[in-house]
Structure 1
Amino acid sequence: MSDLTLSQGANAPYRPSLRLAGRDWLLILAAFFLSRLALYGMGYFGTQLYGPDVGPFQAYCQFDCVWFQRIIENGYDLYPRWLSKGNAANWAFMPLYPILAGSISNLLEVESLFGLMLVANLAFFISLPLMLLVLRQLRLGDDTARFGVWLLAFSPFSAYFVSGYTEPMFMALMLAMFLFAYREQWLMVAFLGIFISGTRNLGVMMVFPVLILALQAYGWREFFRFTERTLKVVFTLWLIPFGLFAYMVYLHNLVGDAFAFKHIQVAWGREMDSPLDWWLSGFELGGRKAYLSIMVMFGWALNLYLFSQKRWAEATLMFICCTIPLMTGLNAMPRYMFGLYPTLLAIILLTHRWPALRPAVLCLSGMVASFIAVAFVNHLFFTV
């Protein structure tokens, strides 16, 4: 009972203190600054050795980052006009990240790239204590929680956590939503849900783990009794998609198509098909496509492990957020997987069961992160 308030009853949710000790903040600061130093350093030397001589921020502004810069500097397109065929527009990129980055850029009177990088790094910094708190909430022990912080800081695809991408914001919001959902603080989940669905369209899929956690906490019969706490859950489920719906209304008024963010994906060669067909096509095509198909298999293995551990909410979210992109192609599958809290949770649970694996996992993860960082800053398309 030492971690719980005295007012909580026997059936109250487990709510350990959200306060962090001084040594926790030392861990978080060390993980943050060492990972920034390592990744920006690898990016700098990667461009010095293999690519153009540019600064570390500019080196990490590849692919999606350029689109966010255009949104900040010119707003959303009125018609498709980008890429070699002139059939691409920036409608595929959700608005919250460029709004925040653009506001900071204007406030500080700096370039849009600086705003993008500042927001990304601040969001990632916030995700580190959230990871620590989430793992403590799951009662996995202090050693496992601290390992989770290091794994997040040096995850294999952490190049996306130092670049102008939505991954850091998406991770921070997802961790916060799971934390408060575990604690059954639904109004906080609802508030955060608006932002996650405005950060990435897949953020709307958080309705499923939230519903599963609520059903596990209360049982489905209570939802038919319309109790106060189940009404809060229903309100939360309705509110989470609000960020996406607001963007859809904006697109409808701008270009006459509320689903323009989805329809414009054809410009990048994304067409709806069976996820199994896309996965098999990777082995048929070979090269980087085969690598992507192998990574999909690795993701499936982690997903199955989550299900085997009866982490139904986390496993369901991982399955949805990996399957929907795979229905339109193999590109970016590794970053989609490792930009999810459930993916990292699966690895953390494995090492919780076998703690001796932790040093090897961190070493391997750091080596892969260095390789991906060098490839990313040199615009190699297998990192897309």
Structure 2
Amino acid sequence: METQQSLSTEKSSTSLKVNSKYNYYLLLSIVFGGFLIFGLSENIKGPAIPIIQNELHLSQSQIGILLALNSLGYLLACSFTSALSNKIGIKWTGIIAFLSMALAGFVIYLSVNYATLSASFFLLYIGNGVLEIGLGIMAARIFTKNTGTMMNLSHFFYGLSSTVAPTIAASIMGWNMFGDEIGWRGMYLLVLLLSLLPIVPSLLGKFPEETHEIEETTSYKSLIRDPVAWLIVAVLSFGVVSEIAVGSWLVQFLVKAYSWNIHDASRMLSMFFLFFMLARLFLGAVTDRIGFTLSIIIASAFSGICSLAAILTGEKGAMLFAISGVGIALIYPTVMALLAKRYPKGTGAAITFTVTLMGIASVIGNLLIGFIIDLVSKMFKSENGGVNEILGLQAGYGFIAVLALICSGCSIVLYVILKKKNQLI
């Protein structure tokens, strides 16, 4: 009898292990697949923006406003995603995000002017915001060991899809269907329909739940009073605005400043994301080894210096724009790992607090870049007496590089404070 009970217990234990392993792989497919979709949806806009601008006759400031509205939608999503996941669960929060992104594809396809396009992009970025916060919470609950490595590996998939996104977008826009080009509207629809795929494992998987609801509720107050939390916000804001701005403005810069065609400029953006992806794949373990804060200091400084050098050396130094992706790639996932380790009993609140404030910075950053380009272009006339758009674009991109350097400076201050408190992670 005892032998039979022992065998039954062993079988039950083995079954649980198999089920647990199967579930873990399901969750990995959702996180990794979610980041793949997120990277595509974020970075297909690079090749599309110059065509949208020409078709709808938009100024650089209007493009800046369009991108700022994107950030505003993202910011709105950040404000309610944590509460939504607490109410309906992280599973259904993710599913809603994927569905809203697919819906945004249809709305973008039907947009006919600047107003409807802005509303469409706003909807897309609400979905993107819910997805990013949701993925961050999922990853923090799943990756309790080797957090820096696993966070960077997750975001590697964002880099992977971001690498191919500009080239794929430029290619799809040139496809012919029913005797006409698909264009940017059809491209957005086709790409965003892919967001329906991760819904299948989402329905099948069992998600770990947050077990520290009281601490998470009270942590918002403690975060507001914590100077370290505000420094982390500054680090993430300057770093991520610089990262996102490259995806939004690099193709525009190369096309307008150096007269590159869309395909060549898109390939350079893909090169940026290739370096970006490889950095997350191979350097994630380094962040665990040398520490999260020191990693951010080095990475953001490297990115800023590369971007400034690219501007100063002109067209022959354009490859430096791509190489800057090595540094900027590590900032977001390393900050997420830092939050997960520093605030283990309120990770959802810490991520929401930090990313929401980062969203505000993204709105301001995108507005500033567009207005800086227009302002400098008008202030300094070209040789024929017209606007000096090249100088304006150099000033706008220079601002992007400076943001990365400020990120490094804030990280140095954070490092000093944490070292004094003996709290370096």
TM-score under structure 2 length normalisation: 0.30
* Higher alpha-carbon Rg: 2
Which of the pair is proportionally richer in helix? 2
TM-score under structure 1 length normalisation: 0.32
